[in-house]
Structure 1
């Protein structure tokens, strides 16, 4: 892991109203292996917030190769299985890139 300042990431996705209870239930206890993969890939201080029908995630990345670590998460079989449960609850926001669920927000200010 890098000793430099963590990279802060905020991402946004829509939550289908009819899947709200299911999504919240799933996140009452996130699978330990999913959390372990995130941690091993340099993700810390991860939170997901709910605002109306939008989910807002915040996490910090403390590794040295963000793209490689994200690829490790995406290739993890347990994480893939987790996503088969959570992805159907979500809908892309208009700001999401083509083919993506979550949209990345741009940081415009940080009190450091």
Structure 2
């Protein structure tokens, strides 16, 4: 199992839209996330900076393949059409990242 953390900003004026979308995530999207070996997925919002922090556990053996499968899913692509316009990637993210990955430096069970 691998613990993951990521950050991204929200566009000004999109906080309520993002909240509303995530108050009713489509069942197909939730099932896809689970089928891609992601567990304990949580997104936190920090206002007034409008920064999102996501954390989850990856329980699979091929993270890039699972993420490619998620990206290729037609229902998930429609979900992203709604959520991506809300997001503002961090300037410090690595090339090819949308959400900026974070290093896990401490964990206590």
- TM-score, normalised relative to structure 2: 0.93
Deviations 1:59-107 (A, max 9, x none): 1000111111111101111111000000000011122123532100101
- Map 1:54-65 onto structure 2 (within 5 A): 54-65=51-62
Count of aligned pairs between the two proteins: 107
- Runs of 4+ in structure 1 deviating by more than 4 angstroms, as ranges, are none
* Counterpart-to-counterpart distance in 2, 1:110 and 1:29: 30
The aligned residue for residue 97 of structure 2 is 100
Listed as ranges, the gaps of 5+ residues in structure 1 are: 1-5
2:37 is equivalent to residue 48 of structure 1: no
Listed as ranges, the gaps of 5+ residues in structure 2 are: none
Say if 1:14 and 1:91, in contact at 8 Å, map to a contact too.
yes
The aligned residue for residue 8 of structure 2 is 13
Match of 2:74 among 69, 72, 77: 77
Deviations 1:14-73 (A, max 9, x none): 011211110100000100000101101100000000012101111100011111111110
How large is the RMSD of aligned CA atoms in angstroms?
1.1
The aligned residue for residue 24 of structure 1 is 19
- TM-score, normalised relative to structure 1: 0.90
